[in-house]
Amino acid sequence: MCSCGLRQLHSVRVMGPDSAADQTVPWRKVLWEPQPYPDNYVDHHFLEELRRNEGIRQYRYWAVVKEAGFVGQQMSSVAIFLTLWLYMEQGLLAPGTLLWSSLVCALLGYGLHQVLTPQTELCSHPRTHLADLQSAAIFLSFTFGFSPVLKTLTESVSTDTVYAMSAVMLLAHLVAFPYAQPSPPGSLSLNAALFASVCLASRLPGSLHTFAMLSCALLVFALWPCLLQRLRENAPGHFPGACVGVCIGGVGGLGSQSVGGALLLFLALASVTFLCPLLLVRLQRHKDNIHGPWDEAEIHEDLSRLLG
């Protein structure tokens, strides 16, 4: 409730002790017994329980900028994926090159993830390297087997419709991405990104191109956020550098295809990373939340003895 609403409530509904029907009976703030007072009567102690900005968090600008870097790097990851797709569509990038590059990046990322994982977590959630290899082999086998089907999946759909669906799904991926805890990625954001990847991969020349593009999509949208979250938790000093590197790669890669697109991405990154945190910190000083006896009652009672 805002302070202006409180003043209005106080001026309209609050009645002092002089307006009470019977001053010999003390007023009690209860509803289950009749009292000789109007229903909207409150005494002069009404505002004594007023509390302002209870539990408010004070943000520091550079700390917010650091956290906003995760949003910026995710936008840049989408830009990197689109850049790779454009290169493959134009025949400037061979699918074999993309596959080998993805394999090397996956192995390096897996090794780094194992190094950054605490020993206590490895002991509490044991998972062998063989199990990880089997999961990767199953995914790659199914993707490679279904690549010819995925290649012809959108043949009856116009190209403009495919591009529009891909843009909407990538936007949904960015909106629904769990930035606070991205490991593992949320099902909605991951499915939206993979759906967009399938739509775009179906417009590539061959089945091997589709397989390479989907493998790259898994690396960018599923595995990279897990590694970056591990980096943020266990190596916070290197986290900003990783975000800056991804942002530079996204702007530079998109700039090789479209200068205007790179400029728009740069402006979006600057707004999300620097301008929005500044607005958050500046507007925080104008925050004015009030709490008092008009709030809903909260029952804090241990019911375990009844539920046991």
Q: Are residues 91 and 182 in the same domain?
A: yes
Residue 289 located in a structural domain:
no
State the average pLDDT for the chain: 83
Each residue's pLDDT tens digit, 50-70:
888 777 778 889 989 988 999
269: phi then psi, degrees, rounded to nearest 5: -65, -40
Cross-strand partners of 52? 290
Each residue's pLDDT tens digit, 189-223:
999 999 999 999 999 988 999 999 999 999 999 99
Q: Are residues 78 and 6 in the same domain?
A: no
Mean pLDDT value across residues 91-114: 91
Q: Are residues 215 and 254 in the same domain?
A: yes
Q: Are residues 202 and 115 in the same domain?
A: yes
Contacts of 251 by beta carbon, 8 Å cutoff, 6+ apart: 76, 79, 262, 265, 266, 269
Residue 254 has pLDDT above 50, yes or no: yes
Report CA torsion sign: 221, 226, 232, 238: negative
* Structural domain total, the chain: 2
Residue 258, domain extent: 62-283
Predicted pLDDT of residue 75: 95
CA–chain centroid gap for 133, Å, is 29
**Minimum mean pLDDT range among 125-129, 195-199, 233-237, 278-282:** 125-129
Q: Are residues 252 and 173 in the same domain?
A: yes
Q: Are residues 10 and 93 in the same domain?
A: no
Residue the block writes with tokens 């417009």 = 203
Q: Are residues 29 and 121 in the same domain?
A: no
Contacts of 173 by beta carbon, 8 Å cutoff, 6+ apart: 78, 189, 190, 192, 193, 196, 221
Q: Are residues 133 and 214 in the same domain?
A: yes
Q: Are residues 37 and 68 in the same domain?
A: no
Mean pLDDT value across residues 232-255: 91
pLDDT band (50, 70, 90) for residue 16 = very low
Q: Are residues 205 and 145 in the same domain?
A: yes
How far apart CA 81 and CA 87 sit, in angstroms, is: 10
pTM of this structure: 0.77
Cβ atoms of 179 and 167 within 8 Å: the answer is: no
Q: Are residues 118 and 250 in the same domain?
A: yes
How far apart CA 158 and CA 117 sit, in angstroms, is: 46
